[in-house]
Structure 1
Amino acid sequence: MKRILSLALTTILATSLLAGCGAKKSDDHLARIKEAGKITIATEGVWAPFTYHDPDTDELVGFDVEVAAAIAEKLGVTPEFKEVAFDGGLTGVSTGTFDMMANGVDVTDERSKTYDFTEAYAYDHAVVVTLASNTDIASFEDLKGHTTANSAGSTYEAMGIEYGAAVSNVDTIGETMTLVLNGTVDATINANTSAQDYFNTTGTTELKVAAVDPEVTKYAVPLAKGSDNDSLREAINQAIADLRAEGKLAEISKKYFGADITAE
């Protein structure tokens, strides 16, 4: 009888240990992603050339879209893009609604309080765009007392407020530039790459870059803070390093920008 009881207790203990191991695995974000076979990625889908819809096919495309898809491939899972407003994407990452965000999210001290960032995968500069005829704004400091338009929750919105501008929130870069063109706002702060893409795509000569921020903008993947994301961050860092070494990041960059913005 004692032998039977001993065997029963051993079986129960072994089962408990296996269950414990399973629970530990499910607490790891990367393990959950691999188990699901997919990674959910927040993106706006309205900010060319980073994330937007091809005008001919309506397919979601862009630099960030392709980089995120390449990272997912390195992780061995399928990318599942969820289109959402910029601030909603960041909130969704912090609450666990999305696994990551790919939308030209630049690393800032303020964001680093809420998110753990991967290594940077691209570099840029913030610029001020005004009408070509504008002579009042020639620096970021000149924005004080003027009006700008930017996405809610973006670094560019924060910069506008920091420099004393009254900021109107918009959803797309097209809307942003239209507001500048028709004089509804005096300027917009945006990524130099996006501004140049807009100039080239539309052929407009009515807008100009009035000022360039000398500080380098670093684009990285934001993840929710927590030790359960350590392995995911390490895996994405390795994917970025591999894609850079293979020349894939540069290839995607040149496709959308005509230049390599993935090397600092």
Structure 2
Amino acid sequence: MLKTLITAAIVSASLSAAATAQENETLRVGMSGGYFPFTFVRQDELQGFEVDMMNAVGEETGLDIEFETMSFSGLVGALEAGRIDTIANQITITPEREEAFAFTQPYVIDGAQVVTREGNDEIEGVEDLRGQSVAVNLGSNFEQLLRDLPYADEIEIRTYESNIEQDVALGRVDAFVMDRVSSAQVIQESPLPLELAGEPFSEIRNALPFRDTEDGRTLRDRVNEALATLKEDGTLTGISEKWFGVDITAPVSE
């Protein structure tokens, strides 16, 4: 009887360890699913640049990628609470975020872009945002970029969960600020009367944040190695060219 109980205990412990190991082999990736062409849903299928990139990371690391979609503004809280392991939704590296999270190397290097309704001659770039209402996605870094401008107190900044492009096209807000690549894609794909205003400003670098714990840093290092390999073998370039027609994963000078 004792031997049976010991055997059962060993089996139970082994199954528990196996379940834990299996859980550790899953990378839970949070994203909004509403930021074309990086992460979006079309015909009930989650797709986009960052979806393909994370699937490639999964193949390289042997990790099972589990996508979890939620509002963009809730992603950081979900990461902090441990409900997800990282965020793949154009998270820009900032000093404040570097204090809170362990980041991978950048996988997108871009610039912030002003977008207006077609024919808006009053705004020809970021320097013309004085006295204007400007929309940004709630929880994004673009709000902070605008607040860092020397004339930020002259800009009416509005935060949006969605419909940012529609409100600019309808004249409810004067402009919006988004990354250059996404802005160009939105204009190309959308029937809305929108146009780029001026040149990109303030270089931004997107990377994957992990919790700054021993386990989080270990997982970050594993993913970071995969990103390095995917850059070296051209996989990231191929994914970028598929979605954007250009390589957004390296500095322009490279």
TM norm structure 1 = 0.81
Q: Residue type of the partner of 2:157?
A: V
* C-alpha distance in 2 between matches for 1:79 and 1:71: 8
Aligned to 1:136: 122
**Equivalent residue, structure 2, for 1:217:** 204
Match of 1:98, SS state, is: coil
Deviation at 1:142, TM superposition (A): 2.5
* Aligned counterparts, 1:155-170, within 5 A: 155-162=141-148, 163-164=152-153, 165-170=155-160
Distance 1:110 1:144, change over 3 A: farther
Distance of 2:44 and 2:242 partners within structure 1: 18
- For 1:197, the aligned partner's letter is Q
Q: Is the aligned partner of 1:102 residue 2:88?
A: yes
Q: By how many angstroms is 1:35 displaced?
A: 3.9
Provide the rounded CA distance (Å) in 1 between the counterparts of 2:225 and 2:240.
Answer: 19
Partners of 1:166 and 1:226 in 2: CA distance? 38
Q: Secondary structure at the match of 1:216?
A: strand
Q: Distance in 2 between matches of 1:36 and 1:150?
A: 36
Task: For residue 262 of structure 1, report the CA deviation from its aligned partner.
Answer: 1.1
Give 1:170 shift.
2.1
**1:17-63 Cα deviation digits (max 9, x unpaired):** xx9xxxxx9xxxxxx67544311111010000000012xx2200000
Unaligned runs of at least 5 residues, structure 1 = 1-18, 20-24, 26-31
1:14-53 equivalences under 5 Å are 35-53=23-41
Alignment match, 1:201: 189
Which residue does the alignment assign to 2:242? 255
Amino acid paired to 1:181: A
- Higher strand content, 1 or 2: 2
What's the counterpart of residue 180 of structure 1? 168
Q: Is the CA contact 1:143–1:160 (under 8 Å) kept in the aligned structure 2?
A: no
Query: Partner of 2:223 in structure 1?
Result: 236
CA offsets 1:88-129 (integer angstroms, 9 cap, x no match):
111211221110000011111122121111101121111000
DSSP-derived class of the 1:209 partner? strand
- Separation of aligned partners in 1, 2:123 and 2:231: 38
- Give me the whole-angstrom Cα distance separating, in 2, the residues matched to 1:238 and 1:209: 36
Amino acid at match of 1:121: Y
Q: Partner of 1:125: helix, strand, or coil?
A: strand
Give the superposition deviation at 1:203.
5.0
Alpha-carbon separation, structure 2, partners of 1:199 and 1:110: 31
Give 5+ residue unaligned stretches, structure 2: 1-12
Letter matched to residue 118 of structure 1 = T
Taking only the aligned residue pairs, the percentage that are identical comes to 31
Whole-Å separation in 1 of the counterparts to 2:191 and 2:237: 25
Give the structure 2 partner of residue 190 of structure 1. Answer: 178
**Superposition misfits of 4+ residues, deviation over 6 angstroms:** none
Q: Shift in Å at residue 258 of structure 1?
A: 0.8
- For the residue of structure 1 that corresponds to 2:59, the secondary structure is helix
Structure 1 residue aligned with 2:102:
116
Secondary structure at the aligned position of 2:84 is classed as coil
Q: Distance in 1 between matches of 2:135 and 2:86?
A: 26
Say which of 136, 142, 147 aligns to 2:133.
Answer: 147
Instruction: Tell whether the 8 Å contact from 2:145 to 2:202 is kept in structure 1 after alignment.
Output: no
Counterparts of 2:212 and 2:127 in 1: how far apart (Å)?
34
Rg larger for? 1
Asked whether the equivalents of residues 113 and 200 of structure 2 are also in contact (C-alpha less than 8 Å), the reply is yes
